[in-house]
Amino acid sequence: MIRHTVVFRLKHKDSSAEEAKFLADAKRILVAIPGVEKFEQLRQVSPKNDYRFGFSMEFADQAAYSRYNDYPEHVAFVRDRWIPEVEAFLEIDYEPLG
């Protein structure tokens, strides 16, 4: 199993219509990609960093994660929405120990 996570900060103003549209569109697009399991959108609450949101999702294995990365809708989302609208991010991918 691979757990794909990303924390990020948008270029949009907090609680703006643009922020809401990005989050709604991201969920609609990403959950529809084959292999995505347990998708979550999260609001970051720690004062230890300035990221505002997180996405978390799981994949059955590395092959499923690789297919997701190369899937046309994911590639288009990254190109057309993520790159223009995300100010900063940190991506971490995990696999269980033991």
Q: Over the stretch 20-39, which tens digit does the pLDDT of each residue have? A: 999 999 999 999 999 999 99
Answer left, alpha or beta for residue 14, where phi above 0 means left and psi between -120 and 50 means alpha: beta
CATH of the domain at 70: 3.30.70.100
* Total domains in the fold of the chain: 1
pLDDT reported for residue 81:
97
Range of 32's domain?
2-52+60-94
Measured CA to CA, the distance from residue 53 to residue 51 in angstroms comes to 6
pLDDT reported for residue 67:
97
For the chain, which residues score pLDDT lower than 50? none
pLDDT reported for residue 98:
83
